[in-house]
Amino acid sequence: MITRIGTFAHSNALIAASLRTQAKLADQQTQESTGLKSTSFGGLGTDVASLLRMSSQSTRLTADNGAAQTASAYVQSAYAAVGDIADLANTIKSQLAAQISGTSLDGDSLAAYARGWLDDLQTQLNSQVGGVYLFGGEAVDAAPVDFSSADYDPTAVGNTGYYQGASTTRTFASVDGSKISLSITAQAGGFEQLARALSMVIADPGDSDTLSAAFDLVGEAVSGVGAVQEGLGVQASQLSSLISRNETKIDTLDDLASQLKGADLAQAAVLVTNYQTQLEALYSTIGTLSSSSLLKYLG
C-alpha cells in the first residue's frame, strides 16, 4: 500500500513537470510569433550588455550621419555658388577681351557693367543656407563681404579689407574624431583677384593698359576660383565617404543586434512540437494516475 500511496507524490511531480514544459512551450510559441528571443531585455541574458552597446553605437552613428548630411548640403551649396562665380569670371574675361580687341562699349557703360559684376560677386559671396553664410567662416551674425568698406583698398595686391567674416573656416567633426573643413572664406585669392580686376576697370575704364592688366588678373582669378571649386569637391567627397562608412557600420551593428534579439525560428518550431508531445505524454500519465482511487488501495 505504501507503493500505491507513493503514486500520488509521483503525480505531483508530473504536474510540476507539465507546468515547466508549458512555460517552455509558451516561450517558444512567443518566439515563433514575434521572431524575437524575448520581448524584454531580461529574457536576453548575457546578450543584454552587447545589445545595449550596439544600439548606442548605431544611434550615435545615425546622428553623426544626420549632421554630415547637413554639412554636405552646406558644401554643395558653396560649390554651386562658386560655380556661378566661375561663370561670372569667364563672362568678364570674354567682355574684356572684346573690349580690348576694339568691339567695344564706351567707358561709362563698361564701368557700369563692372559695378554690376562687382555687386553680383558680392551677392554670391554673401550667399546663405539656413541662415548661415557660406563664405564667412564661423561668423554668422553679419554678411562677410562689403566691397564698399572703408577698410578695403582695391589698389593693394592681396588686400581683403572687404572681408567682415571670421578668420577660421567651419569644420565638421565626426564621432570617430575625423575633421573635415567646410567651404572656404571669401578671402580666397581667386575672389580677391576678381574684385581687384573689376575695381581697376571701374576706376579707369577707358585706359587700354588698365584693361589689359585687368584681363590678365581675371585670368588668374579664373584659375583661383577653379581651385576653390576643386577643393569644395574634395570636401563633398570626404563627407560622402564618411556617410557611406557610417551607413555600413550602422547596417553591421543593426544586423548583429538583430541576430542577438532574433529567434531561431526553425529551432523554435522543432521545440514547440517536442514540448507539445511531452505535454501530451505528461497529461496522459497524470490522467492514468488520477483515475486510480486511493481508497481502492486502502480498502
Mean pLDDT of 284-288: 67
What is the pTM assigned to this prediction?
0.73
Mean pLDDT of 50-58: 82
CB-CB neighbours of 201 under 10 Å: 29
Average pLDDT, the chain: 83
What pLDDT is recorded for position 2?
43
Least confident of 83-97, 174-188, 201-215, 252-266: 252-266
What is the spatial distance between Cα 47 and Cα 246, in angstroms, rounded to a whole number?
24
Summarize pLDDT for 226-236 with one digit per residue, the tens.
999 999 999 99
What is the spatial distance between Cα 28 and Cα 33, in angstroms, rounded to a whole number?
9
**27 φ, ψ (degrees, to nearest 5):** -65, -45
- Residue with C-alpha cell 558680392? 122
Flag whether pLDDT at 290 surpasses 80: no
- Residue with C-alpha cell 557610417? 246
Mean pLDDT of 198-205: 96
pLDDT class for 3, splitting at 50, 70, 90?
very low
SS (H, E, C) 100-166: HHCCCCCHHHHHHHHHHHHHHHHHHHCCEECCEECCCCCCCCCCCECCCCCCCCCCCCCCCCCECCC
Flag whether pLDDT at 140 surpasses 80: no
